[in-house]
Amino acid sequence: AKEQGKSRYARYAETMDTCAVEHARLGAELQRALTSDELFLLYQPVVTLPDGELSGVEALVRWRHPERGLVSPAEFIPVAERNGMIVQLGAQVLREACRQMADWRRRYGDAAPARIGVNVSARQLREPTFPQTVADVLTDTGLEPGDLLLEITETAVFDGGPALQAVRAVRELGVHVALDDFGTGHSSLGLLRTCPVDVLKVDKSFVDGVTGTAEQSAIATSLAQIARALRLRTVAEGVETEAQARRLYQLGYRLAQGFHFARPLPAEEIDDLLAVREAA
Ligand code: C2E
Ligand code: CA
Ligand code: CA
Ligand code: CA
């Protein structure tokens, strides 16, 4: 009854307040998480079409919070971006992913994943020290630059400047770069001329439409053609059904990622897949 008495604005302001307080609290707890073992990585397979064989993996961060349980990156990455903690968090993720990938390469050779994808946020990319951080991590972990794929968003590079310089610098090292969630950002197509990349990760929202009408599948169809013309690899993201996988293959997609093939998995489960492959 009391709630009803409040103006719409008062209720709105209250929600915003709770939001700000909640963000501040999450931020403080994240600071602690960075120096504890609460953050860890899962690895989602990227597979070849049509056979569904493991090609690469993407590292995805998770936070096992002592009271809240598993917190989604969709919740804490934006907080870390706002308070700047993403720079340290991102560097930790990069180091751990490269260490893991170097370990797989040493143990399994050619049967290891072809490369590991690591998400890099705009804020990280704009740090002047970013390319040096990547170079240092490669040296320290002994990972070949070509085994690393940095996943960035269009939004991070669309205005040129330091982020674009960073993309050029890491590619100069031999590291591969992917445009993530491709098609959902600012300037998609024009960007392909100014920002040299190796891979387009076609967003799930377009993959969802491939089994629908011509209109619904139009963007996924066009992106496959553009990518082929520009000699870019494409990965179809968020593939959830066999029908989608089949249709994507017909459209020319040769790499896919999604729950239909595999969820993000702990490193040990990737190990099991690699051991089987090595034995074959
Ligand atoms: P993303 O980079 O686009 O990663 C793919 C997300 O889609 C992952 O969510 C993955 O679990 C989910 N996914 C994969 N296949 C399917 C599917 O078939 N259906 C559906 N519905 N979802 C699928 P996750 O792990 O929750 O990560 C969400 C986002 O958080 C990532 O989106 C990425 O933007 C960000 N993120 C995750 N880890 C990191 C990180 O280490 N650094 C940074 N900067 N961002 C990260
Ligand atoms: Ca990604
Ligand atoms: Ca994505
Ligand atoms: Ca996404």
Q: Which tokens hold the place of 246?
A: 């089949």
Residue located nearest, by CA, to atom 10 of ligand 1? 264
Torsion of Cα atoms, 168 then 170 then 175 then 179, to 10°: -60
Q: 264 alpha carbon to ligand 1 midpoint, in Å?
A: 9
Closest alpha carbon to 114 in 170, 57, 174: 57
pLDDT for residue 1: 46
Rounded distance between C-alpha atoms, residue 220 and residue 260, angstroms: 18
pLDDT tens for 117-155 read 999 999 999 999 999 999 999 999 999 999 999 999 988
- Protein residues whose CB sits closer than 6 Å to any atom of ligand 1: 44, 60-61, 72-74, 77, 90, 93, 119, 121, 151, 180-181, 238-240, 257-259, 264
Contact 254, 235 (CB under 8 A): no
Q: Calculate how far, in angstroms, residue 6's C-alpha sits from the geometric centre of ligand 4.
A: 37
**Reported ipTM exceeds the 0.90 cut:** yes
pLDDT tens series, the chain, 280 aa: 445 556 666 666 666 667 788 888 889 999 999 999 899 999 999 999 999 999 999 999 999 999 999 999 999 999 999 999 999 999 999 999 999 999 999 999 999 999 999 999 999 999 999 999 999 999 999 999 999 999 999 888 887 889 999 999 999 999 999 999 998 877 668 888 888 899 999 999 999 999 999 999 999 999 999 999 999 999 999 999 999 999 999 999 999 999 999 999 999 999 999 999 888 8
The number of angstroms, rounded, from the C-alpha of 258 to the middle of its chain's C-alpha atoms is: 13
Q: Which ligand 1 atom sits nearest the alpha carbon of residue 153?
A: 34
Alpha-carbon distance of 43 to 29, in angstroms, equals 24
Q: According to the model, what pLDDT value does residue 185 have?
A: 78
3 state DSSP class of 177: strand
High-pLDDT (> 70) share of the chain, %: 93
Cα–ligand 3 centroid distance for 181 (angstroms): 4
**Ligand 1 nearest atom to the CA of residue 86, by list position:** 44
Residue 33: how many CB atoms within 10 A of its CB?
21
Beta-carbon contacts of residue 67 (< 8 Å; ≥ 6 apart) = none
Which residue's CA lies nearest to atom 46 of ligand 1? Answer: 119
β pairing state of 39-48 and 54-65: antiparallel
Nearest CA to ligand 1 atom 13: 238
Other Cβ atoms closer than 10 A to 207: 26
Q: How far apart, in whole angstroms, are the C-alpha atoms of residue 163 and residue 152?
A: 10
- Tell me the C-alpha distance between 48 and 257, whole Å: 9
Sequence-distant (6+) residues with CB within 8 A of 35 are none
The length of the chain in residues reads: 280
Instruction: Report CA-CA distances (Å) from 127 to 161, 163, 270.
Output: 11, 8, 32
Q: Which atom of ligand 1 is nearest to the CA of 257?
A: 15
Cis before 113 (ω within 30): no
Cβ 177 vs Cβ 119: under 8 Å: no
DSSP 234: E
What global pTM score does this model have? 0.93
